[in-house]
């Protein structure tokens, strides 16, 4: 018998919503806070324009020089 649902459709009796579980979300935010604290403590970071250029060149298969972390203004 054919169904009007796909195998990915949510059943009405499911208890879990189709969202990122809160534990994973908490871990994500905790790791982000830790990484930001490390950037502030070290005083250096790679600027987004340099990283974006590097990633674009790599994706295009072009030779790319890695960006260098530099001191940022505080």
Domain for residue 17, yes or no? no
Question: Which residue range(s) make up the domain with 65?
Answer: 22-71
Domain for residue 11, yes or no? no
Domain for residue 15, yes or no? no
Domain for residue 5, yes or no? no
Domain count, the chain: 1
Lowest mean pLDDT among 14-18, 54-58, 66-70: 14-18
Rounded distance, CA 66 to CA 28, Å?
26
Contact 47, 74 (CB under 8 A): no
H or E stretch covering 71: strand 70-71
Q: What predicted TM-score, i.e. pTM, was given to this entire model? A: 0.53
Domain for residue 48, yes or no? yes
Domain for residue 52, yes or no? yes
**pLDDT tens-digit profile of 8-44?**
665 555 555 556 688 888 899 999 999 999 888 988 9
């Amino acid at each position: 018998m054919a169904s009007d649902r796909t195998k990915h459709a949510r059943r009405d009796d499911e208890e879990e919503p189709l969202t990122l579980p809160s534990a994973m979300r908490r871990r994500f935010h905790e790791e982000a806070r830790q990484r930001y604290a490390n950037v502030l403590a070290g005083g250096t970071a790679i600027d987004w324009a340099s990283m974006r250029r590097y990633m674009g060149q790599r994706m295009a298969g072009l030779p790319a020089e890695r960006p260098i972390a530099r001191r940022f203004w505080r």
